Structure 1
Amino acid sequence: MNPSLSRLVAALGASLFAGLTHAAEVHIAVAANFTAPINEIAAAFEKASGHKVIAAFGPTGGLYTQIKHGAPFEVFLAADDSTPARLETEGEILAGSRFTYAIGKLVLWSASAGYVDAQGEVLRRNEFNHLSIGNPKTAPYGLAATQVLARLGLSEAVKPKLVEGTNITQAYQFVATGNAELGFVALSQVFKDGQISGGSAWIVPEDMYEPIRQDAVILNKGKDNPAAAALVDYLKGPKAAAVIKSYGYDL
């Protein structure tokens, strides 16, 4: 073989080997409301970095329980700030890794156009049969929904009509499939590029519920994984921020 060609083949082989040895997998636990944004972010991150993202989705409380029972998660994107803070207090995270990646918004949504008015008066009329929310014990958006109902003085009036999803994805599905006429869901589930993507909605004023600050952390299992650090850095960058904002979150 030509000596120059031999050197080129060797260099390409070394480059490929280096790329393979530096690529890694990162296992992440993600709050259900952030499913669509993280899928979009992960695809771009994988293309840019060569790393692979393996994601599991669920209610924040449920994911916390899995983490405490040894689930192999390396990064946790919660739907609140209190659960990551608790993990930090319990010594379960890489020190200094906790940060707010998004501020969530609550919306009252119906799959039917014109059903929900822009002021949410449909709640006070109370003419619906079912109102879907996430489980307030495990899903921060479900807790926010109960705070809104209490603020409106409607907790007892609508209590017989509540349908609880185990997480905000199931709460959304109850409405999307028509099993509930309306429900409190995450704005990110029904919002894209500046508008509600279908049905009708009331974006709940943010002073009606406690701020939904969504924090992320690197868990102890990921402290030595370069892919975990790289993903967190990417989440803090402008490309991820653009995706997050496109789904209606604040930063």
Structure 2
Amino acid sequence: MFPLRFDVAGTSVEVPVRTLLNAGYAGRSQDDVAAHVAELAELGVPAPTRTPCLYPVAPYLAMQTADVPVQHARTSGEAEWALIIAGPREEDVLLTAACDHTDRELEVHGVAWSKQAGPDVLGSRAWRLVEVADRIDSLTLTADVGGRRIQHGTLGELLTPVYWLEELRKLELAEPGTVLLSGTIPMDTSVDQFADSWRVDLGDPATGDVVSCEYAVRQMPAPIA
């Protein structure tokens, strides 16, 4: 088990991660998702057999870090929210900002493989889902890379946390220690995603509060082999 620690309204909550899942092709409009799948197929990314998708990845890839080492220059993040089941009660389900750092070279060989090749970076602060559930679609999701805005939208563009909680129940994974990342929103293709830093903000316009994750991307030395 790999513990994460969250500041939840001034209280520290520790969560040993048992199960880590990455949602994919998880837009609210599945017609838009189908168009996106077709675009990716033209780039060589294998099409899924169904949407939305759910990719299990190693629990140790759930991290709260300011530094992500990578093996080459073609890796990038994705603005997402993360659902964290911290305990057995409804109020123990948490929501925070997250960034799924993905190996884009490996992605053309298999999306699941690419998810396993990089970490899921989560914020250190979180909200209780019950406290924002009534306005979930108005929450904002924003990503900046190297100081430039590359993603901006609302959670109304993605399948909801409640949808994924129901899916987790069907899979018998709605238990303490499960972490699920939401899938992402469209990127501005005019901005270079292969930057040396990523920041994701999850904002609540009703309160002005923002939870964030931010890290530098550091390319490791070439292998000696």
Structure-1-length-normalised TM-score:
0.24
Higher strand fraction (1 or 2): 2
Higher helix fraction (1 or 2): 1
Structure-2-length-normalised TM-score:
0.26
